[in-house]
Homo-oligomer: A and B are copies of this chain.
Amino acid sequence: MVSESGHDNPIDHPDIRAVHDSMLDGLGQLADYFGFSKVLGQLYGTLMLSATPLSLDDMVERLDISKASVSMNMRSLEHMGMVRQVWVRGGGGRRKYYEAETDYWKIISSLLNGREMRDVERAIHVMTENSKKLKVAMPEMADENQEVARVYMQRIAQMQTLFQFAQLMISSILAQAETVDFNDISSIEIHSEQD
């Protein structure tokens, strides 16, 4: 239950302020690194460090950025499963607040289960189809073209092992996410068929 926004998180101590700014700065850089807006990282940081849920207006005030920018970036964060809505009663009605998801396995699992995994699978499928197309057409080709087709098939096969590695990595993480405690991971082993 939140009565009034922000009051319970005053940040009036210099060390708390310094840590707050350092974390928001780092998360802004991280967001930028992954091709998002810095604001997205700063918004996640603001919510992550807040003891209570915050409204869009709280975030506008704290970060001193436009409401349009806050709304847009909050939608991205919600879409990635990094923040969630909570409805809080107060002042004669219900108001929408947000809190940060801090279960990182959950975030990773939902990200990898969706877009990432589909993209990798589609890439592998496209490469398989392309190799098949060349293999079928090759016997009818002129010698010069057969040579080109051979180079293509070899290079596509090399790239395909990269995507198969990515696929195995993602599916291993997903399969083990539920049984392994994220805080206790001690080693990651990559096994080959010869092992």
Chain A residues in contact with chain B, CB under 8 A? 9-13, 15-16, 18-20, 22-23, 26, 30, 33-35, 48-51, 100, 102, 104, 119, 123, 126-127, 130, 133-134, 137, 141-142, 144-145, 147-149, 151-152, 155-156, 158-159, 161-162, 164-165, 168-169, 172-173, 176, 180-195
Contacts and interface: CB of A to CB of B under 8 A. Distances in A.
A184 B20 CA distance: 46
A169 B192 contact: no
Copies in the complex: 2
Contacts of A104: 158-159, 161-162, 165
Given A184-B194, A191-B188, A16 B148 contact: yes
A184 B192 contact: yes
A191 B155 CA distance: 34
Given A12-B145, A23-B130, A148-B51, A185 B194 contact: no
A133 B15 CA distance: 7
Contacts of A26: 123, 126
